Structure 1
């Protein structure tokens, strides 16, 4: 997974000698790339615990191939590879491993 943004504020664990990231606040042209999935938004917050997740706000949009999901808020649970999208609109062009015939 790679996260891009104009500005990021990274919070580390308070344990001495630890370099574990606890939280990341990202803003401006946020882009997450994981495999062939791309999520863009204006803002995002990554949380390592209790469940590794990223919350996207500010016109979040997820694309995978030609499939598109948009909404007002998108929560991506990384371990489970699933998302919850508020006020969502979905455009499915192809299902995984299968192209639709015209």
Structure 2
């Protein structure tokens, strides 16, 4: 896979993957996922950063400095986003070559009225798990929110686990009006 093809595949995949994670992890009730249906409607993604480094031999592409990736109504902002690729014999440019994505520093993801904030976000493709860590990782929907020391979203089964430690307990605020939203 050429470096340019690799980078294009990664740029297209990042917000799509994060959109799917947050959309399915927010609710355990089966719902159509608007992010997945929009995936084919708009494949255009705008990524802005101060620098990009592609290390083809290491299978890593990194966007550094004031990173902002936007697609449809989804935005990922971070100081740095690293995308790790699987070693592949195939010359195809498909999204299955992505192994893991790591966003660090002032991570903020927004999709509609849903938002996630953390110092670090790690998403592994194989098990579809997103881990948010740092001083105060937080998930927000409308006026409702939950925070802890570590937030793990298990996309495959729609679970969210929020952990605490001695200094940071799990906190949650639920607004009844948020339950009435579509």
TM-score, normalised with respect to structure 2 = 0.48
List alignment gaps of at least 5 residues for structure 1: none
Higher relative contact order (Cα pairs below 8 Å, separated by 6+ residues): 1
Number of residues of Structure 1 aligned to a counterpart in Structure 2: 97
After TM superposition, give the deviation of residue 90 of structure 1 in Å.
0.6
Q: Report the aligned-residue RMSD.
A: 1.9
Of the candidates 41, 46, 53, which is equivalent to residue 129 of structure 2? 53
Residue 28 of structure 1 pairs with residue 102 of structure 2: no
Residue 91 of structure 1 pairs with residue 173 of structure 2: yes
List alignment gaps of at least 5 residues for structure 2: 1-18, 20-73, 165-169
CA distance in 2 between counterparts of 1:42 and 1:83 reads: 18
Point out the structure with the larger helix share. 2
Point out the structure with the larger strand share. 1
SS in 2 for 1:45: strand
Larger radius of gyration: 2
Single out whichever of 23-32 and 9-18 deviates more from structure 2: 9-18
TM-score, normalised with respect to structure 1 = 0.82
CA distance in 2 between counterparts of 1:84 and 1:13 reads: 27
CA distance in 2 between counterparts of 1:79 and 1:41 reads: 22
